[in-house]
Each structure stands twice: as C-alpha cells, then as structure tokens.
Structure 1
C-alpha cells in the first residue's frame, strides 16, 4: 500500500537546478550534523557529559533536517542521477563516510551508557551490602547477603 502511495506523489525534482539545490542542501545538512556529532563524541570521550547533553536540542534539529532531505533525495535518486550525476555520486560517497562517523558516535554513546549503568549497579550493590545483617545463622555460618543490592537508588540529575 505504501508503494502505491509513493508512486502517486508528485515529483519534487523537476529540473537540474532543483536537483543541484537538493544535493547541495543535503550535503550541508550532513556536514552540519557531522560537526555536531564530532563535538559530542569528543565531549563524551573527555567525560564532559553535561556539555555533551547541552547539544541534544541542536542535534535533534539538525538530525530532523538531514532526515527530511535524505528521504527526499532517496525518493528522487534516479532523477538526481539523471540531472546531476557527478554531484549525486559525490554525495553518495560522502554519505558512506557520514554513516561511519555516525557509527563511531553511537558506539561512544553506547559505551558511556554502559559505564553509567555499571556504576549505578555497583553503587546499588555496595549500598545493599551495607544493609545486610552481619550475623550467624543456626548452622553457625554467616548468612548469605542479598544479591539484589539496594532497593532503590536516587539520582540527582541537576548536578
């Protein structure tokens, strides 16, 4: 059903000038987003998570613009190749490099998230260990500590 809807949409790219502008705008959107992703990656690697978090709104806006333009170009790829073949080929090559940069950014963010979760689990476990009674049971052996850790950990995100 979506294929039928896609075929009925009017063409956006009807001339070489429009094709050139779409390719140019997509190239600029990719570059703007890439600059932001590199900055975010550097901040996260440096442990400056607060500053990296401040880039979120700008990143969201730039990613939305990139996505809109990329989807428009994807829908018109044959027309773009016909009207501006060299520019389209260069854009496709740049897009592959862009994708690898995005993968690096995602890997860094995923690692930071894993480290944060591990820290929270360790803190919860240590707090829970402190709550366990240090007494001997009927058999004369120390009772097993609760493996689940603390029942709740509060996080102040305003710091």
Structure 2
C-alpha cells in the first residue's frame, strides 16, 4: 500500500514538473496565412499565378515561390536560380527577401524558387509586389497584378 502512494506521489510530481516546463517554454512563432496566391505579369516571359509559402523562426523568415507565370525553357540545375522578392511592408515602404535556392527544374516546368530569406519584426504585415529571378544570365522581373489571397502575411 505504501509503495502505491509513493508511486502516485512521484507520478503527480513528475507531471507537475513537465507541465511547468511546458508553460515556461517559448511560444512558437507563426505567420498567417502560411500560404497565399498572387498574380504576376512577367512581360514577354508570360503571366500567371504564383503560390507564396512563408515560414518564420523568430526574426528570421523565409518565403518560397512557385509560379506558372514563368516556365523553364531548358533543364535548370538545383541551386542555380537567384531571386529577390520585394514586398510592401506595413503599408508603407518595402522589404526584400533574397536567395539562390531552387529545386532542379525540368524544361517546361513552372519556376520554383526559395527559400528566399528576410528579417521580420513582430506585427510586420508583408504583401508581394515584385519578383526578380535570374537564371543562366537572364533576368526576369515580374510585377504583381493582384493582391495576395487570402491576404498579406502577418508575422508573430
């Protein structure tokens, strides 16, 4: 009987310690929405919709873009696309996310680039304005022709 009470007391003590640890753990950072769509006009390269996927880890954020506005004319090796995404910041001014990461792109496939990295502060509201992609020495600039749907990224 005595061992049963001791075991119950230990279990309750361990449970309280775990609950206290979880309560003191830092909260996870989140961006909402995590995925948005936007339309781009890329001039002679074409136009179409893009999907933007955002993540956040503290003040570091990353955005990946996949768009059918531009298709790869030839096979493109992974890591050979340089990109800059310009976003409006809090309704005034802009910020840029940059990177040179991409998966391998077979000829004719939609362009996917990112993650492009940037810095955010709690409460920042960012919405895509333009995308500049450089691949094989060619630079393509795409301008947003629609607002992000379902809305701008809001960082925690």
Q: TM-score, normalised by structure 2?
A: 0.22
Report which of the two has the higher share of strand.
2
**TM-score w.r.t. length of structure 1:** 0.22
Bigger Rg, which one: 1
Q: Could you say which structure has the higher helix fraction?
A: 1
